[in-house]
Amino acid sequence: MEKITKSIRNEICLIENFLSEGLFIIQHKDCFAINTCEFLLSKEVDNNFIEYSLKLKDELFYDQVTFKKLGFNENFKIKSRENKFVVPSRSVNYLKGKRFVSSSELKGRLSKIYSESFPLKSHSIFRLILKTEIEHLTTIFLGTDYVCDKIHYGLGLFKIEVDDVVYHIYRHKMNNENYLIIDCLNNLDFSSFKKVSELIIKSIAFLTGNWYQKECYVFAYSSSEFSKIDSCYYESLDDSIISNHEIINPNQFRSYVADDYIEKQKLSDLLFSENKMSEFIIQLKSKPELERTVDLIIEGNGIKSPLIRCSIFSVAMETIVSLIHKENKTFFTPLKSTSELNALKESFRLIISENKDKFNDLEIEVLNKKIDYLNTPFNADKYLLAYKFYQIELPENLIKLLKTRNLFFHGSIPYKGLEVKTKMKEFNLDADRIHLLVSILILKYFNYKGHIKNHAAYRMETENYYDELGLEIRESSFYRI
């Protein structure tokens, strides 16, 4: 089998020298004062934004210095000796001039820019490069070995297929920087590539607890050989969320089960499979509720307050349980004899109809709705049934927490008000456990089988070990689901 060989040397060179020519001339409509003005751009390697300095031909009074009046709310082109770029509408997200007096120079930042020839609305071969802060980001996946710029990696490239399109996801270290690379091997429209790439990055963030997203570069090519860069696209994103709140850790799990599962040491049993990753992306792409659940988990990881994390994870729980319930209503119905139930419901409706003169229209509507929801499970039962649906047996402490999740969901807490400040440790553990409960349902939604990390138990085990507390921890640091 031919070894997979990659190279991103040209791309990294472009990234490190991005906009190095600096000076551009704006090409905009004649009605805007910035047309034909000098536009000086600079991009520092450590900054996830582009700075600009705009020299106006005529001074403008401060009431003329607005995004709309300058034309920043529309696309415009910029040209240098070597390059032509498009600055998309609303990409100028910061504008600074003098206040209450006229200005001859404006400064600010850009969030997005792309080559004039970039295939924004046509098909091409694409490669996304994202800087990360960890070297082994992709080694939790069961992939393959590969060579990138003469460096041999024993593991770290995995393949997924979404809508008959093949992607390679891998890592590379160059010039002391770590990168995540997503290659699309088929011709694809840019919006589809961008969406799938975002979902890949979110999926990795969900599994590892780290969402790397400060900025990204996308390169377009005419061939899947990735030999010549045709054009590039730059976008500044939000701050990364680095929590290390991983739910998959093959090395730790291998050590954890070493004594009891000798036959479970194989990497194929421990690493996250490529097929499951493909299925995960497909489900995220087609199920907005599932993507929102993952978003809530990732965003919640970045919040310091354990109380707020409990609330956000509880909302995530509500979202994923509602999705599972919506797609499997028959399983969740308390009464299975639907024919008898339908007859009973019609009897109730007949009674209401015969007594409609005793109620107003709103009351009649309420009574009929109650009949419609007669075979709907209680909320507490619905949550427990979601785990039963996937044949997950929860330990007693997680069942107890699941029954109190409604308190966090509605902004309350399961402890008395006077105890809040003394219960921060418990709140942190509760947040970890709700995170675990939601993560189990997300993983089982796309039929994952494997291990999942329980940070609450792992946190207590670590404290117990280093402080030599001698406590008995009654929950497991890892579960097999």
**DSSP states of 17-70 as a string?**
TTTTT-EEEEE--TTSTTTT-EEEEE--TT-SSEEEEEEEEEEE-GGG-SHHHH
Q: Are residues 123 and 187 in the same domain?
A: yes
Q: Are residues 78 and 107 in the same domain?
A: yes
> Could you tell me if residue 255 is left (phi over 0), alpha (psi between -120 and 50 degrees) or otherwise beta?
alpha
The total of structural domains in the chain comes to 4
457 falls within a domain? yes
Among 372, 401, 422, the domain boundary falls at 372
Report how far apart, in Å, the C-alpha atoms of 244 and of each of 133, 142, 211 are.
12, 20, 9
Q: Are residues 235 and 346 in the same domain?
A: no
Largest CA distance in the chain: 85
274 falls within a domain? no
474: tokens are: 């009654």
Q: Distance from first CA to last CA of the chain, Å, rounded?
A: 34
Q: Are residues 386 and 427 in the same domain?
A: yes
Partners of 141 in the β-ladder: 272
Residue 20, pLDDT score: 85
Nearest to 29 by CA among 91, 60, 90, 73: 73
Q: Are residues 164 and 72 in the same domain?
A: no
Residue 268, pLDDT score: 45
Residue 267, pLDDT score: 46
The C-alpha R_g of the chain, in whole angstroms, comes to: 28
413 falls within a domain? yes
Residue 265, pLDDT score: 47
Residue 337, pLDDT score: 64
Q: What is the mean pLDDT of each run of 10 residues along the chain (481 residues)?
A: 89 92 92 94 86 92 89 94 93 85 90 96 97 90 94 95 97 95 97 97 96 95 95 94 93 74 52 95 97 97 92 93 92 72 75 80 79 70 92 92 74 63 84 96 95 92 80 86 89
Whole-prediction pTM value? 0.89
Residue 336, pLDDT score: 65
Angle at 311 between CA 309 and CA 317, to 5 degrees: 100
Cβ neighbors of 205 (< 8 A, separation 6 or more) are: 211, 212, 241, 298
Cβ neighbors of 109 (< 8 A, separation 6 or more) are: 49, 50, 51, 52, 92, 93, 94, 236
Provide the residue range defining the domain that includes 211.
Answer: 118-242
4-6 and 144-148 as β-strands: parallel, antiparallel, unpaired?
A: parallel
Q: Are residues 170 and 228 in the same domain?
A: yes
Residue 1, pLDDT score: 57
Segment (H or E) for 87? strand 84-87
Q: In terms of C-beta density within 10 A (0-12 exposed, 13-18 middle, 19 or more buried), how is residue 45 classed?
A: exposed
385: tokens are: 């049934």
